[in-house]
Structure 1
Amino acid sequence: MTSPSRRALVTELDRFDRLLEVGCGDRLGVASDLADRGRDVVAIDVAVDDDPGGVTDEPAGENRSADEGEAAADGSLRVRRGDVVALADAADPSSTLASGNADGTGIDAVYARRLPAELQRPTVDLAARLEAACLFTTLGFEEPIVPVERRSIPGMTLYVARDR
């Protein structure tokens, strides 16, 4: 069963065609739901796999939590090892991410769930370099350390650091 807050977040992000989720861990529910709605999603985390060789594409179905459901049919979901700090500092972050995007045309929005304070600035910087919107939630007990607009959606506050 999908929580009301997850449904609200998916609805909010559904206006974007190509998305990057930062710090996905093993919680791929939002990314999976977006892919099921026909969106192209790249989800990154430093702990996606144990391969120290860098960024790798992996089939979405094998990376989902047991409660995440069937593989995406309409859109695409690529789960990759990636570090938002390194991507924000990369010479060309869009080319690094393009290979993980179905059509290679870039990212419309960067989003994160439960984004810790120390990763907020690099996430916003990466979104700016990609000319993408940037939306996130925090761990709950932390306030954003970057300038944001607050949006109340069922079950949570969504912080918008960049809008398009």
Structure 2
Amino acid sequence: MASPSRRALVTELDRFDGLLEVGCGDRLGVASDLADRGRDVIAIDVAVDGDDGADEWDDRADGADGSADERSAPDGSLRVRHGDVVALADTADPSSALGVGSEDGTGIDAVYARRLPAELQRPALELATRLDAACLFTTLGFEEPVVPVERRSRPGTTLYVARSVTDRSP
């Protein structure tokens, strides 16, 4: 059974079609739930297994067999990749680095994170800005946001909205 905070995040993020979760670690519950709802999700973390020395933005495994962790859901998908939000925010073309954009008709509508530490809040917001995407996150609980935010109280959690964009879902 999903926690109240997980359900609240999924409900809040469900209005976006293309999502990027930064700092996913091994907690893919929200990303998985969103993919199951038909959303296209990319989840990145520096600790994703399968680092074979190739380009940092190639699909990476987080499974034991070394294959790329990509699965389809009813009209949705989840891709887990090795990646660093700080480096991605500084890359020349973050959309291309993520493999999304106008060529394939997909894009990132929201960048989000669960338990985002203070030192990654500015890079996450910068990345969202460069992608023209919303930026939403929860904190570790004991830290206050270090970027300007709108606070939204949800069951079991406080969601911080650092950047809003017009809802692009159909």
Instruction: Indicate the TM-score class for this superposition, using the shorter chain for normalisation.
Output: 0.7 to 0.9
Contact 1:59/1:78 (<8 A) preserved: no
TM-score after normalising by structure 1:
0.88
Aligned to 1:46: 46
Q: How far, CA to CA, are the matches of 1:132 and 1:141 in structure 2? A: 26
Q: Please identify runs of 4+ aligned residues in structure 1 that moved more than 4 A.
A: none
Q: Deviations over 1:128-161 (max 9, x none)?
A: 0000000000000000000000000100000000
Higher helix share: 1
Q: How far, CA to CA, are the matches of 1:133 and 1:25 in structure 2? A: 21
Contact 1:35/1:77 (<8 A) preserved: yes
3-state SS, counterpart of residue 144 of structure 2: coil
Aligned to 1:140: 141
Q: Deviations over 1:26-84 (max 9, x none)?
A: 00000000000000000000110132322232578x48xxxxxx973431000000110
Judged with a 3 Å threshold, the aligned counterparts in structure 2 of structure 1 residues 55 and 98 are, in CA distance, closer, same or farther, namely: closer
Q: How far, CA to CA, are the matches of 1:40 and 1:91 in structure 2? A: 23
Q: How far, CA to CA, are the matches of 1:104 and 1:117 in structure 2? A: 33
Q: How far, CA to CA, are the matches of 1:20 and 1:76 in structure 2? A: 12
Aligned to 1:77: 78
Aligned to 1:19: 19
Q: Paired residues, what number? A: 156
Shift of residue 2 of structure 1?
1.0
Judged with a 3 Å threshold, the aligned counterparts in structure 2 of structure 1 residues 59 and 72 are, in CA distance, closer, same or farther, namely: farther
Q: How far, CA to CA, are the matches of 2:117 and 2:82 in structure 1? A: 18
Q: How far, CA to CA, are the matches of 1:147 and 1:9 in structure 2? A: 20
Which structure 2 residues correspond to residues 8-157 of structure 1 after superposition, within 5 A?
Answer: 8-49=8-49, 50-53=51-54, 54-58=56-60, 62=63, 72-99=73-100, 103-157=104-158
Judged with a 3 Å threshold, the aligned counterparts in structure 2 of structure 1 residues 17 and 59 are, in CA distance, closer, same or farther, namely: farther
Q: How far, CA to CA, are the matches of 1:45 and 1:58 in structure 2? A: 10
Q: How far, CA to CA, are the matches of 2:138 and 2:74 in structure 1? A: 27
Gaps (5+ residues) in structure 2? 65-70, 166-170
Q: How far, CA to CA, are the matches of 2:111 and 2:86 in structure 1? A: 13
TM-score after normalising by structure 2:
0.85
Gaps (5+ residues) in structure 1? 64-69
Shift of residue 97 of structure 1?
1.0
